[in-house]
Amino acid sequence: MTEAAKAGTPLCRLGDIEDGEAKGFLLGEGVDQRDIFVVRDGTRAFGYVNSCPHVGTPLDWAPDAFMSEDGGHIMCHTHGALFEIADGTCIAGPCTGDRLTPVALQVDADGRVILAED
């Protein structure tokens, strides 16, 4: 990770993301920049690199638009692929069986979503 995106870096508060929604973040700068997103599922947060395993396009079609209409799955808006929130496994679409690249996160006692060690 770059200096701006090291373990312990706070991203947001869990309460800043509605349950069943996601929020995108750009970490670092230049060639070290990473485009990630955080999905809230109840009291848990899951992080992934914003890149579809099918062809590498970003999953969102507009800022923070990562979820299926019902909020039950992560969705690639380029191909319509659906991914499980908890592990990033593609369950429908052209990359079925592939997985999103996880980003290690933790929610601290104050409700902050922070980067964890990979």
In angstroms, the CA 112 to CA 100 distance is 23
User: In the Cβ-directed half-sphere of 100, how many Cα atoms lie within 13 Å?
Assistant: 34
By percentage, how much of the chain surpasses pLDDT 70? 97
Please tell me the pTM assigned to this model.
0.92
Domain count, the chain: 1
Is 111 a residue whose pLDDT tops 60?
yes
Spatial CA neighbour of 45 closest among 85, 89, 88, 99: 85
Residue that wins the pLDDT comparison between 64 and 28: 64
Does the pLDDT value for residue 68 go beyond 60? yes
pLDDT at 29 over 80: yes
Residues spanned by the domain of 50:
3-115
Q: What is the CATH number of the domain that holds 59?
A: 2.102.10.10
